[in-house]
Amino acid sequence: MSIVVTGAAGFIGSNLIKGLNARGIDDILAVDDLTDGDKFRNLADLRIADYIDHRVFYSRFADRAYGDVEAVFHEGACSDTMETNGRYMMENNYTLTSELFEACQRHGSRLLYASSAATYGGSEVFRESPEFESPLNVYGYSKLLFDQRMRQRCGHAFERSAHQLVGFRYFNVYGPREQHKGRMASVAFHQHHQFRQEGRVKLFGEYGGYAAGEQQRDFVFVDDVVAVNLWFFDHPQARGLFNLGSGRAQPFNDVALAVVNAERQRQGQGTLTLAQAVSQGLIVYIPFPDALRGKYQCYTQADLSALRAAGCDHVFADVTSGVTQYMQALAV
């Protein structure tokens, strides 16, 4: 039986295919939109059985044109949190995903799909429960609405789903194969290129009660995201909605320092403390932009209680180790 990966040429989708290939699995149907032709680079070194344009996939999949499909890793979506076209966002992230779910239920295919920590929005608690969900933009709402529909249709823990159904609320994912994402690429990616071009990394100054560079996010390495997806693939009885972050909030200063020190190591220089990097002008702080005031999450940290209760005990990389690995990959 084959496996479908939507958003296959994207960041997480291509890394998932890499992880499947590492297991010797290559009967993979890759679904994506290559209007941005340069995204082919994320597929060029991977083994797939076929490529299918996203415009034809969903209707043909519903008609069972691709035969027996064991599982669908659904990563395809509009992930631009600054997109304001609500109709476009809802069609891509809610309507198509709903149709895909119905087809999976009919065909006996397992569905493992990408939700988002954006569903929590301005919340201070990041637990998979409705009282903590308060999206700040239409992207977060489009993801939340599908999660809500799955709860209504399949039960709060998706226990009534006819076949495995798993939603992953991704936090701040970083790692290789995100070069096509433009402004939506990770902080680590942008800081790497900023340091190469300017010899320094810029961070937001004081905002929201946090000192300069001390706003905190749950940064999760893409290899860890793949590992958790594949853990659920290996455990077809496990189902539900799960946070997928490291479970550890770390300040942007930690990311910047890891980027600076990785670059210094590449040049044969020693590592610095944060104070040293700031004093040498390698990390600088800029005023918080007015356009982001009231729309910015100053703190996120995945509650991993549900993930652990499901039996997944994967150990996540911290920022220093994960970003260092990423910088080494970017240097190749």
Distances (CA, A) of 184 to 59, 75, 148: 29, 15, 25
Distances (CA, A) of 159 to 95, 117, 154, 284: 22, 22, 6, 49
Contact 191, 326 (CB under 8 A): no
Report the alpha-carbon distance of residue 62 to residue 58 in Å, rounded.
Answer: 6
Contact 165, 212 (CB under 8 A): no
Rounded to the nearest angstrom, the gap between the alpha carbon of residue 35 and the centroid of all alpha carbons in its chain is: 21
Active-site position among 51, 88, 181, 210: 181
Total number of residues shown for the chain: 332
Report the alpha-carbon distance of residue 195 to residue 180 in Å, rounded.
Answer: 19
Lookup result for tokens 């608690």: 125
Lookup result for tokens 């996939």: 57
Report the alpha-carbon distance of residue 237 to residue 226 in Å, rounded.
Answer: 18
Active-site position among 58, 94, 113, 139: 139
Report the alpha-carbon distance of residue 198 to residue 227 in Å, rounded.
Answer: 35
User: H-helix or E-strand containing 53?
Assistant: strand 50-53
* 139 is a catalytic site residue: yes
Report the alpha-carbon distance of residue 278 to residue 165 in Å, rounded.
Answer: 47
Question: Quick one: which of 172, 139, 132, 143 has its CA closest to 305?
Answer: 132
Report the alpha-carbon distance of residue 249 to residue 201 in Å, rounded.
Answer: 20
Residues 6+ apart with CB under 8 A from 40: 9, 34
Catalytic residues: 139, 181
